[in-house]
Structure 1
Amino acid sequence: MGETKIRRRRRWLWPGMAALGLLAGAAAVWWALQPAPEPPWLTAPVARADLEDAVLATGTIRASKMINVGAQATGQVKALHVKVGDKVKAGQLIAEIDATTQQNALRDELAGIESLKAQRASRQAALAHAQLALERQQMMMARDATSKAELQAAQNQLAAAQADLKANEMQLQQAGIKTETARANLGYTRIVAPMAGTVVAVVTEQGQTVNAAMSTPTIVRLARLDPVLIEAQISEADVTRVKPGMPAYFTLLGEPDKRYPTTLQSIDLVPPDQTKGGESTATTSATTQGAIYYNGVLQADNPEGHLRVSMTAQVFIVAARAGGALTVPAAALGARDKDGRHEVRVLVDGEGAAPRVETRHVRVGLNNRVKAQVLEGLAEGEHVIVGKAKTDAERAAEGGGGAATGSE
């Protein structure tokens, strides 16, 4: 009986062991076919790119020159020859004011001049008569044929005639000045463009009456829109990094992908709110304002008139630029050693084995805080570590937390 039981046990034991062996072999094959686990690192390749370090500023487009074309004559605007958007040349007629009053004033002055000229002829004749009378008295005095009183009367008459003629000459000069003024006032009724530009506003319409005696009324507003100026607000943290002559470009809100090239022309020495105040204004501004900005002026061509006054521009002032540079993300840069090199961790392929992490000391050039130029220590195509990847458990925990938050 005992031998029979042993035989039965052996009969069941061998198939069980064979099944276990098959399971172990299948598990080994399955494990071998599984892909290698991903390294727990976030990496980025060392690649070539165009790199620039730019100071960012918000700007506003201004006309390179804008003036108010006013009227120096009083009267009704009889004709207006331009409209908004018209391009005018220097000296071109813009508007005409009713010139009846100015024409009459000029005619009156011209008539006064003719009257004074007639008086001059009469006084010249009187002067000639007085001169002859004096000569006759002098001849008679030499012969004792007249008295001293007669001679003195002739002399006084000549002096009076000379004074009258002199007064007439001064009156003619005054009349000439008044005539020039009247002629200028008549010219003021024709309003012409003082410069070439574009009409950006019509302030006074045709038929409206203007009064130049009270203040200078504006007829139109004229602007030079090619080129235009960009006033950029440069932060005090960046103003020491830029200087006039640096290349720059700007974009518009409606065209964020189009770059307009320009150059930084100048930088104000004081903030704009302090240009009209003294030391007390500057102190007050410094204590009440959270940030200080300085106006930088740039210039851009505008041949098609695409750039308009008061548009907002995003300005980039290029402090440094490197083309085709070897770059890594700035996040990959670690501590800096005494030689100025940065620690960078590199993920190196183990050639069949698991990748390993190497620490390199890299010399860096241009760094715009997004990407950094590698001058020495890395090769193109290598992968640098920029952070640690999250585990499945961490992702699951975040997902659970998000679900819990959402359920709340």
Structure 2
Amino acid sequence: MRKRSGTLLFLALLFGGGWYGYNKIWAAPPPPQYRTSEVDRGKIVATVTATGTIQPLVTVLVGSQVSGTILRWNADFNQQVKKGDVLAEIDPDRFRRELDMRTAAVAVARANLEQARVRLADGTRERKRIEGLFQKGTASENELLIVQAAEAERQAAVQAGEAQVQVAEAERQASQVDLDRTIISSPIDGVVISRDIDAGQTVAASLQAPTLFTIAADLRAMQVHANLSETDVGQIRAGMQAEFTVDAYPGRKFRGTVSQVRFNPTIVDNVVSYITIIDVDNEDLALRPGMTATVAFEVARVDDVLTVPNAALRFKPPEGSIKAETGERAEKAERPAEARERSAGGGKGRKRDGASGTVHVLDGKTLRPVNVQLGITDSRSTEVTGGDLKPGDRVVTGEIAAAGNGKPSRFMKVDFPEPEGPMMAT
């Protein structure tokens, strides 16, 4: 009994292993299953995408032209200001003392001028007296020349005194300007975006004017500065409509108009892009400076056209699954994947006018290749402008992989017979 049970168990294992090996090696695999999509009519909008930042229409950096200590500030973040409003004050004591010194210098210069004028008047009187004596013969010609030279010298001193007064006046005015500049005023109507100073802080304006405040003119009118790739810049022009989203409002789309495509290139890591300006209304103040925008430019649109999924143009059928029709069509259907990618190539927003491709229609259990001419495309579908394809056809977009390494399962369940009677240990 024990030998019979062991023999039956051995035969069952042998039969199961043989059956598994046969199915694994020689048995034909089950036919592949495919994902399909129905050819339909619809619209396709070709777009070009770019990223950019939200910027105010006008931004003014308010700085200081004089050095000193901040005495107080009067404007804070998000505060509305008018042109001429005092934003901050720099300690004016040093500048007032300088102005007093320059005012005194003006007074000294004017006194020196008056003194020179008195001397000139005395010299003129002396010259006239000597001239009278010279005409009477009681004064020599040499005495006349001496008094004439003295008068000319005093005349020059008066002119020098007048120039000194002008210099002193100019220095006093410069000191007055420096004193006035201790009052930092708003140059425009707008909103304070940033305040970069605090009371007691020292401002050093020796090399360049430090930025104290940043003011945006009007946040109800904003701009998007989008970085447009050099491959797409030829499709964008002023006046086009643009649509964009920001991370702060994921479900909301904003719209604007392209106002400028700048000629100046921006090169980062050998990648060339061009700044494109998009004007946007921001009446509800939802958009804020510095936000990142994802922009889509509509470059082409077609309505009520035959469309196929982009996945159908990329699909490569397995070997032996294509129905043989004509040598030419079979050869095109079995071309390399690289050529197929080129025919279905181009990304979102690319025009495929004049390009061709191949899709595969599921005909029973075999695939029938169909050559088509292509138009514009978006991220999901491509326009079909020609070819033997009609609405309702089901094109293959991919193969359904079975469980186990992406291949159809060929395993079968083997039931082993129960041994007759209990197994006895030897």
TM-score (norm 2): 0.66
Deviates more, 1:263-272 or 1:87-96: 263-272
Q: Deviations over 1:302-344 (max 9, x none)?
A: 34432223322212132222345553323445978xx866556
Match of 1:43 among 37, 46, 49: 37
For the structure 1 residues 221 and 42, does the alpha-carbon distance in structure 2 shift closer, same or farther, using more than 3 Å as the test?
same
The change in CA–CA distance for 1:310 and 1:122 in structure 2 (over 3 A counts) is: same
Q: What is the correspondence of 1:6-405 to structure 2 with a 5 Å cutoff?
A: 42-49=36-43, 51-213=44-206, 216-224=209-217, 225=219, 227-235=221-229, 238-239=231-232, 241-245=234-238, 246-264=240-258, 265-267=260-262, 269-273=264-268, 285-286=269-270, 292-301=271-280, 302-323=282-303, 325-333=305-313, 363-368=373-378, 370-375=380-385, 382-387=392-397, 390=400, 395=402
| C-alpha separation in 1, matches of 2:355 and 2:73 | 70
Query: Could you list the per-position Cα deviations for residues 89-122 of structure 1 after superposition, in whole angstroms to 9, with x for gaps in the alignment?
Result: 3333211122222223223322332333333333
Q: 2:293 is matched by which residue type in structure 1?
A: A
Unaligned ranges ≥5, structure 1? 1-38, 274-284, 287-291, 349-353
Map Cα deviations across residues 142-172 of structure 1 (whole Å, 9 max, x no partner). Answer: 1102122321232122112101101111101
Whole-angstrom distance in 1 between the partners of 2:202 and 2:37: 75
Contact preservation (8 Å) 2:309, 2:397: no
How far apart are the structure 2 equivalents of 1:323 and 1:175? 79
* Cα distance in 1, alignment partners of residues 303 and 53 from structure 2: 30
Q: Which amino acid aligns with 1:382?
A: G
Alignment partner of 2:83: what SS? coil
Name the SS of the counterpart of 1:152 in structure 2: helix
The CA deviation at 1:59 is: 2.4
> Does the CA contact (< 8 Å) of 2:370 and 2:387 recur in 1?
yes
Instruction: Provide the residue aligned with 1:10 in structure 2.
Output: none
2:228/2:276 contact within 8 Å kept: no
| Residue 298 (structure 1) shift | 2.4
Q: Distance in 1 between matches of 2:165 and 2:100?
A: 15
Q: Which moved more, 1:360-369 or 1:244-253?
A: 360-369
- Cα pair 1:267 1:294 within 8 Å, conserved: no
Other-structure match for 1:18? none
Once residues 116 and 34 of structure 2 are traced to their aligned partners in structure 1, the CA distance between those partners, rounded to angstroms, is: 117
**How many Å separate the matches in 2 of 1:147 and 1:305?**
93
Kindly tell me: are residues 205 and 396 of structure 1, through their superposed partners in 2, closer, same or farther at Cα, counting changes over 3 Å?
closer
The AA in structure 2 aligned to 1:77 is I
SS of the counterpart of 2:66?
Answer: coil
Q: Deviations over 1:153-209 (max 9, x none)?
A: 321221121011011111011012101101110111111123344322222112334
Query: Hey, what's the Cα distance between the residues in 1 that align with 2:290 and 2:45?
Result: 28
Alignment partners' CA distance in 2, 1:267 and 1:159: 66
Deviations along 1:255-291, one digit per CA (max 9) or x if unpaired, are 2332222344225554434xxxxxxxxxxx44xxxxx
Determine helix, strand or coil for the equivalent of 2:226.
strand
Question: What's 1:5 paired with?
Answer: none
Of stretches 108-117 and 199-208 in structure 1, the one that deviates more from structure 2 is: 108-117
On the 8 A contact 1:346/1:382 being kept in 2, the answer is no
Cα drift, residue 76 of structure 1: 2.9
Give the corresponding residue for 1:35: none
- Partner Cα distance (1:185, 1:119) in 2: 27
Q: CA deviation at 1:213?
A: 4.2
Deviation larger for 310-319 or 361-370: 361-370
Indicate how the Cα distance of structure 1 residues 381 and 400 shifts in structure 2: closer, same or farther if over 3 A, else same: closer
What's the CA shift for 1:240?
5.3
Q: Structure 1 156/258 Cα, relative in aligned 2: closer, same or farther at 3 Å?
A: same
Deviation for aligned residue 1:358: 8.3
1:374–1:147 Cα change, 3 Å: same
Q: What secondary structure sits across from 1:272 in the alignment?
A: strand
Q: How big is each residue's C-alpha offset from its partner over 1:342-361, in whole Å with a ceiling of 9 and x where there is no partner?
A: 5566689xxxxx99998776
Please provide the CA RMSD for this pair. 3.7
Q: Shift in Å at residue 140 of structure 1?
A: 1.7
- Distance (Å, rounded) in 1 between the aligned partners of 2:289 and 2:127: 79
2:311, 2:398 within 8 Å by CA — same for their partners in 1? no
- Cα distance 1:199–1:323, how it changes in 2: closer, same or farther (>3 A)? farther
**Cα distance, 1:125 vs structure 2:** 3.0
Kept after mapping to 2: 8 A contact 1:241/1:319: no
